[in-house]
A and B are shown apart, each in its own frame.
Chain A
Amino acid sequence: MKRLRTSRCSGQLLSAQTRASSSCTKPISLSLHRATPAATTHLRPSVRSQSTVAPAFEDAVPAAGEYHADPFESEPPYPSPLPERALSSPKLAALHARLSLPSKLPLQTLTRCLVDPSADPNPHFNNANLALVGSSLLSYLTSERLVVSYPRLPMAVLFEAMRAYAGPAALANVARSWGIDQAAAPGPEVDPGLLQFSLDPAAGVRHTRWGYVRKEAAHLDKFRWRRGLSSRTVLDDEFGDTVHKPNPNPREQEDLAADPQRAADLAAAERQSLRDEAHAAVVRAVVGALYIHAGRDAAHAFVRAHILSRHVDLERLFSFKLPTRELAMLCAREGFEPPVARLLSETGRRSRTPVFVVGIYSGRDLLGEGTGASLDFARQKACMNALKAWYLYSPGQNVRVPSDMLSEGAKKWEPVYVDIGEVI
């Protein structure tokens, strides 16, 4: 067995921490110049380092002749490509340029953003830690923008709006629009510019999700306990979903065994969610890496340009049960005159396709208009439009958010509008 010739290593490598722990919970350490891989590989002669200093690697990697005698050579030395290969990947350089990333963000870190923990469980070489930083930044910036711009949004709609901006499916779309391709299978030989992840649900480790696990989490799936909306504002994650992985019901498993078509559909959905999660983690990791390398302002500008600038039709997230009653209660709560439905115009009343335009008035003020093929539908629609107009009130898209105060020389903070809450 070959030994690592420490005499060949430069002083810089020797002074760096040589016994990095292999625990997955270790936080990101930027000063790390050399890390021993996981316990199973610590006897390998080659050294994998996460460093932005290129010459140091040439010292660390043994000469080509020594590799032939390596008994471990038959199996790949590492699960993901070595960081120094980042410098020679055209795909990676193109991605760096396409996103207009600052030169402070090195290509080695960008490679690391593209390695999912399911491909490489070593936390020093996958994007898990960067993605955690990025996801907390993303949810903070998205939620403050939504809450300040739409202060009256109901909580359920706010959760869905959060998901539409910063949810896994939305971020996966962003990653695909950046032109991030996935490798067919993860491995050390693939181009570092390709996203690497494993579709095997049991492979590697999963991303950590930020949120509060409920005390009764074990019983939620078993007894189908109710999760109220007000408890979701405090517990659970930023989209109002539970943090723990849901336990499948054993009876449902039996049903699935009997229905192969449904089982196949479910498996396909599971694969799609894994794929989306891996793509989304890249976006989160890039945001996190930008925050660490280039600072807060660059990360905020990046999120504004790539995430918050996307158009989400908030109007379509609403769903009502009793719009007329809700509007009447709103008017009573706010001290407006009770709403009255009035017929603004109509055509073809006795025909097969009539159209009625109904307006909802409070006193002499028009609150909402709706069209429909029957008087009742038009009235309900007008009520829904009036309610949407109430809930979608916005003080303007250029209102300052709390994070704007972090920059130097910010003007004095003026309190934003805070609404008293939903109607029903």
Chain B
Amino acid sequence: MEARALARPAASFLANLSAHGTTVTRRSHQTFSRTKRALNIAPHPAFTTSPAGNSNTIIFNPPAAEPSVHHTPQKFLPKSDPRRKHADLAALFASPYAAPGTVPSSSSTTTTTTTADADAGLPPALDFPSRNNPRYHLTREDVAEIRRLRAEDPARWSVNRLAKKFDCSEVFITICTPAPRDHKENLERKLEAVKRRWGAIRTKARVERAKRKDMLFRGEL
């Protein structure tokens, strides 16, 4: 207790010192001409060197920008579209990761290749739960068991615990069995109690999070 009482004014004094230290303007080691020289970046070599042999070359060096949604991906083009029908155009619009010589087809349902093959050369996949390869490993008896457990003691057999026990997603548990009404109300009451303890800052943060989500889905973010 004593040590803290002593340490606090000392710390604030030190903080003040350092704060004062930063506000004092110090002359940079770089002069005007050095700064100018440092910022003078050479243009992209494509602009300066003339292409070998053929001089009639278009230089296409666009700035980095978000791709437009009006550029339909090759896979989304209908079969009747000329961009898909003509081979040259198809090559122009093809994905850079596509294996050479293959044009993506709209009906490539066969996904028998192993994931290691398929992912070669592609950017790393994000770890989000997906329903890409459903296992269908639960039987009718399992579902009956899930329902029985949930009805027996919904507080003990929560959705999360049931999902872990049966090695399936939480969504599947909620599809199998809805919670009893009194249990739902109980959970809501608990949540309300938690929310009532929130201060102004946290409440505002939650409200703004919801707003951000809405803006995202409206395409305003």
**Interface of A toward B, CB cutoff 8 Å:** 315-316, 318-321, 323, 328, 334-338, 340-344, 358-359, 361-369, 371-372, 375-377, 379-381, 384-386, 388-390, 392-395, 417, 419
By a CB distance below 8 angstroms, the chain A residues around B122 are 342, 361, 364
Which residues from chain B contact A318 at a C-beta distance below 8 Å?
Answer: 219
With A335-B107, A359-B123, A393-B78 as contacts: A321 and B217 at CB distance below 8 Å = yes
**Interface residue from B66, B109, B218 paired with A319 (Cβ < 8 Å):** B218
- Inter-chain contact A340/B72, CB cutoff 8 Å: no
| Separation of A323 and B77 alpha carbons in the complex (Å) | 20
B16 interface residue, CB < 8 Å from A?
A: no
Interface residues of B in 136-167 (CB under 8 A from A): none
Using A319-B219, A335-B107, A372-B216 as known contacts, list a sample of 8 further A-B pairs with CB atoms less than 8 Å apart, ordered by residue number in A.
Answer: A328-B130, A338-B130, A364-B97, A365-B98, A386-B73, A392-B72, A393-B77, A419-B78
Establish whether residues A315 and B219, one from each chain, have CB atoms under 8 Å apart when the complex forms. Answer: yes
**Are B69 and A389 neighbours in the complex by a CB distance under 8 Å?**
yes
Expressed in whole angstroms, the minimum distance between the Cβ of A386 and any Cβ of chain B is 8
Interface class of chain A by DSSP: mixed
Q: What's the minimum C-beta distance from B157 to chain A, rounded to whole angstroms?
A: 27
B125 touches A341 (CB 8 A): yes
CB pair A366 B73 closer than 8 Å: yes
Query: Complex formed: what's the CA distance from A44 to B78 in Å?
Result: 68
State which residues 95-143 of B face A: CB under 8 Å.
95, 97-99, 104, 106-109, 111, 118, 122-126, 128, 130-132
Nearest A-chain residue to B71, judged by Cβ = A389
Closest to A375 in B: B126
Contact A340 B217 (CB under 8 A): no
Contact A377 B132 (CB under 8 A): no
Contact B97 A366 (CB under 8 A): yes
Report the nearest A residue to B79, measured CB to CB. Answer: A417
| CA gap between A348 and B119 in the complex, in Å | 26
With a cutoff of 8 Å between Cβ atoms, the chain B residues found around residue A364 in the complex are: 95, 97-99, 104, 118, 122
**Which A residues are CB-close (under 8 A) to B72?**
389-390, 392-394
B81 within 8 A of A: yes
Determine whether the beta carbon of A363 is less than 8 Å from that of B108: yes
Residues of B within 8 A of A335 (CB): 106-109
- Between B76, B97, B98, B111, the greatest number of chain A beta carbons within 10 A of the residue's beta carbon is seen for B76
Interface membership of chain B positions 69-93, coded 1 if the CB is closer than 8 angstroms to chain A and 0 otherwise: 1111111111011000000000000
Least CB distance from A332 to B in Å reads: 10
When distances are taken between beta carbons in the complex, the residues of chain A under 8 Å from B216 are 372, 377, 380-381
Q: Please, which residues of chain B bring their CB within 8 A of the CB of A386?
A: 73
* Shortest distance between the CB of A137 and any CB in chain B (Å): 28
Of the residues B66, B107, B109, B118, contact of A371 by C-beta under 8 Å: B66
Considering only CB atoms, which chain B residue lies closest to A338 in the complex?
A: B132
Q: What residues of chain A lie closer than 8 Å to B95, measured between beta carbons?
A: 364-366
A394 & B70 in contact (Cβ 8 Å cutoff)? yes
User: Nearest 3 pairs between A and B by C-beta?
Assistant: A388-B69, A342-B123, A341-B126
B73 adjacent to A319 (CB under 8 Å) = no
Contact B126 A343 (CB under 8 A): yes
What chain A residues lie within 8 Å of B221 (beta carbons)? 372, 377, 381
CB contacts (< 8 Å) of B9 on chain A: these are none
A377 to B209, CA, bound (A): 12
